Chains A and B, each alone.
Chain A
Amino acid sequence: AQRVTQPEKLLSVFKGAPVELKCNYSYSGSPELFWYVQYSRQRLQLLLRHISRESIKGFTADLNKGETSFHLKKPFAQEEDSAMYYCALSGHAGGTSYGKLTFGQGTILTVHP
């Protein structure tokens, strides 16, 4: 079974402060990890995926297989980063990857001016 845990329901920081949204996963195979974001009155959308190793909007996330974590980080938070963030996992089996995702519970990030 695969599971994704986001331990913080709410996270508040001030503008310019570093932010880290935690994500831990449980999966016996080789996972693919994602961060999705939902801004106010907008659709849920992909922010980044571990396989791309890219930085989007200043956010980065590194897959740590030893700690089974995929924390999302940004060195200097901005007010426009305020949103709901979901960590998600896609599993593999028999060399084929499945499209379906398992989502965490979500973290609401609020960046204060």
Chain B
Amino acid sequence: DGGITQSPKYLFRKEGQNVTLSCEQNLNHDAMYWYRQDPGQGLRLIYYSQIVNDFQKGDIAEGYSVSREKKESFPLTVTSAQKNPTAFYLCASSFGEGGHEQYFGPGTRLTVT
């Protein structure tokens, strides 16, 4: 089941530690996205990248950082500045232009205690 992968599936961290979530795609998509999924709040966009070496903040970027050094990879770092980091994180990719389907990864559940 290739396409877009996220690792690990579950991640546990202590408060105050930064943690990086992996997202890789082999679909040759230009655009990649990070969402956070919380019960009752739907999916909220954290960061997105439409091309390598470029990315933009989404609606809830505070406390997060990303990089896009390769087309295939878009890692997300949850920093200690993020006040409520415990959540389910979804990565997605698409051909970039609007109207194209976004393909989602299986998600990573992060728990910070």
Q: Which residues of A contact B (CB under 8 A)?
A: 6, 9, 32, 36, 43-46, 49, 51, 86, 90-92, 96-106
Least Cβ–Cβ distance between A88 and chain B, in angstroms: 8
Best-buried of B33, B41, B43 by chain A (most CB within 10 Å): B43
Interface size in chain B (residues, C-beta < 8 A): 28
Task: Give the complex CA separation of A35 and B13 in angstroms.
Answer: 34
Chain B residue, CB-CB nearest to A42 = B106
Least Cβ–Cβ distance between B73 and chain A, in angstroms: 18
Contacts of A91 in B (CB 8 A): 98
Least Cβ–Cβ distance between B26 and chain A, in angstroms: 15
Contacts of A102 in B (CB 8 A): 45
Beta-carbon contact of B48 and A100 below 8 Å: yes
Beta-carbon contact of A99 and B42 below 8 Å: no
Beta-carbon contact of A32 and B102 below 8 Å: no
Chain A residue, CB-CB nearest to B95 = A99
Q: A46-B102, A99-B50 are in contact. List 20 more A-B contacts (CB 8 A).
A: A6-B42, A43-B105, A43-B107, A44-B104, A49-B101, A86-B43, A90-B99, A97-B97, A98-B98, A99-B33, A99-B48, A99-B97, A99-B98, A99-B100, A100-B58, A101-B45, A103-B43, A103-B44, A104-B42, A106-B42
What 0/1 readout, one digit per residue, does chain B (26-37) give for beta carbons within 8 Å of chain A?
000001010100
